[in-house]
Amino acid sequence: MVVWLFTGIVMILFVLAALFIPAKWRVKETADLNISCLELYEFLLNLKNWPRWQMDENTAIPFMYVGPERGEGASKYWEINGVPASLKIGLCVQGKNIQYEMRINKGETILRFGIILSGNQGSTTLTWVCEGTSKKNLFERYLTFYDKWTMRREMKAALFRLKKIHEPQLEELKQPA
């Protein structure tokens, strides 16, 4: 009897706590690079450059590129373990920002990203923001914590690789865990 009562209370607390987890989440990472805003903007505008900084060196994924090669409307599609995904560049402001959207599993998961560039005299601060929305499923609300942690880790690794591309003297440094 006591076990059932205790189990019931724990279940109710689990459900109530999930209701307070925000459906929308946001991850923000920043990096300083020794490259001008315009040069970095031009590099990032071309989706064919993205695998160099977005993926591990030993990862080989075939991409299908659609639309313009760079800038607004440029898109790429791929599949990993049977899960389709796409990325499309949206609004771009010359030398300042790039907004894009990633859809995973036919739009089941939608992530919105913004890359904001600011700088002076040959150096740039890149601020990268990812926003996602959890489903209403209570269990998936708890997964939000894992999603944010994973996204933050992937963004840090990608920014480190981007920094290595534009600052070759960092080649001997190890990627942060």
Residue 42 confidence (pLDDT): 93
Q: Given a cut of 60, is residue 173 above it in pLDDT? A: no
What is the number of other CB atoms lying within 10 angstroms of the CB of residue 153? 14
For residues 42, 45, 46, 49, the Cα torsion angle rounded to the nearest 10 degrees is 80
- At 21, give phi and psi (nearest 5°): -80, 125
- At 91, give phi and psi (nearest 5°): -70, 135
Q: Given a cut of 70, is residue 170 above it in pLDDT? A: no
Residue 14 confidence (pLDDT): 75
Residue 143 confidence (pLDDT): 80
Residue 120 confidence (pLDDT): 82
Residue 58 confidence (pLDDT): 65
Angle between the N-to-C axes of helices 138-166 and 2-19, in degrees from 0 to 180, rounded to the nearest 10: 50
Distance CA 28, CA 37 (A): 19
Q: What is the pLDDT of residues 116-136, one digit of tens each?
A: 999 888 889 999 999 988 777
- Amino acid (1-letter code) at residue 39: E
Mean pLDDT is highest, among 18-22, 27-31, 160-164, for: 27-31
Distance CA 177, CA 169 (A): 20
Q: How confident is the model at residue 147 (pLDDT cuts 50, 70, 90)?
A: confident
Residue 33 confidence (pLDDT): 92
Distance CA 29, CA 31 (A): 7
Contact 175, 157 (CB under 8 A): yes
Q: What is the pLDDT of residues 61-119, one digit of tens each?
A: 889 999 998 999 999 999 988 899 999 999 999 989 999 999 988 878 889 999 999 98
Residue 67 confidence (pLDDT): 93
Q: What is the pLDDT of residues 21-59, one digit of tens each?
A: 777 889 999 999 999 999 999 999 999 998 888 877 667
How far CA 89 is from CA of 84, 105, 164, 171, 175, in Å, comes to: 17, 18, 24, 29, 27
Residue 16 confidence (pLDDT): 76
- Read off the pTM: 0.81
**Gyration radius of the chain's alpha carbons:** 20
